Structure 1
């Protein structure tokens, strides 16, 4: 294990919204153990991950003697100045975090979001990454819960939003 290191690789500096193409019944926000809203789903399928959300990029990753080993996040995209999987792993991690907390999307839909966002950046091995999450993603739903040490909570959005 690595000592005196951050538990997360990335922290989102501002809200990120993306249209998933999946409609959902109602409008929902999901809160972490501190009560902070981390994920918002609109009826239209618009997904918003809120500022300060932290995640580890593409999983799995393990720290050995202060070296981070695991799934690469890809080269830096010339447009976003982030690794090509940055937004794909962000949305996928946030959706997986709340899958067991009443998220109105299925795991296959979260995995499809990952694939579509990787396609938007032209990430070449996207089908390899997508196949890996389709085969092994169910293992990481429980891991996310353990790593974050909490259950999230689901709340209906007020009509004013």
Structure 2
């Protein structure tokens, strides 16, 4: 059983103005001119935290939302982009928590996610997600 819920079968690209001015490239992720690309083979666990139930295809934790017309959960793409941004946040100069959260929120809206997800998920990642983004600078105690 894989520890990953999803693996990209093809490259995904999206434009987000919140990422304008960021220039980054590694094996899995490229950001240029507001365009973010995540390469084929990238794996992630969907909405976190979530853990696989041994011997099944079930995961316990934060739901990825209802299955949409495209056959994928509502948060599939939003969790992909947000997870990649968070995973490489220490290497992405200028990335802020607000920008990563805005990408998640925008992708949820574009996916026509239910209203409860549109309110709850961005607030949850803002409060409970990573707090140490390089673009936010040092935090005062």
Please state how far the C-alpha of 1:63 moved relative to its aligned partner.
3.5
Partner of 2:12: 16
Q: Which runs of 5+ in 1 are unaligned?
A: 31-36, 142-161
Q: CA RMSD in A?
A: 1.9
The separation in 1 between residues aligned to 2:91 and 2:24, in whole angstroms, is 11
* Compared CA separation, residues 64 and 77, structure 1 to 2 (3 A): closer
Which sits farther off after the overlay, 81-90 or 56-65?
56-65
The separation in 1 between residues aligned to 2:99 and 2:41, in whole angstroms, is 24
Segments ≥4 residues shifted beyond 4 Å = 64-67
* Compared CA separation, residues 17 and 115, structure 1 to 2 (3 A): same
Partner of 1:131: 123
> 1:96 aligned to 2:86?
yes
- TM-score normalized by structure 2? 0.83
- TM-score normalized by structure 1? 0.73
How many residue pairs were aligned? 128
The separation in 2 between residues aligned to 1:6 and 1:103, in whole angstroms, is 31
Partner of 2:24: 28
Structure number with higher relative contact order (C-alpha < 8 Å, ≥ 6 residues apart): 1
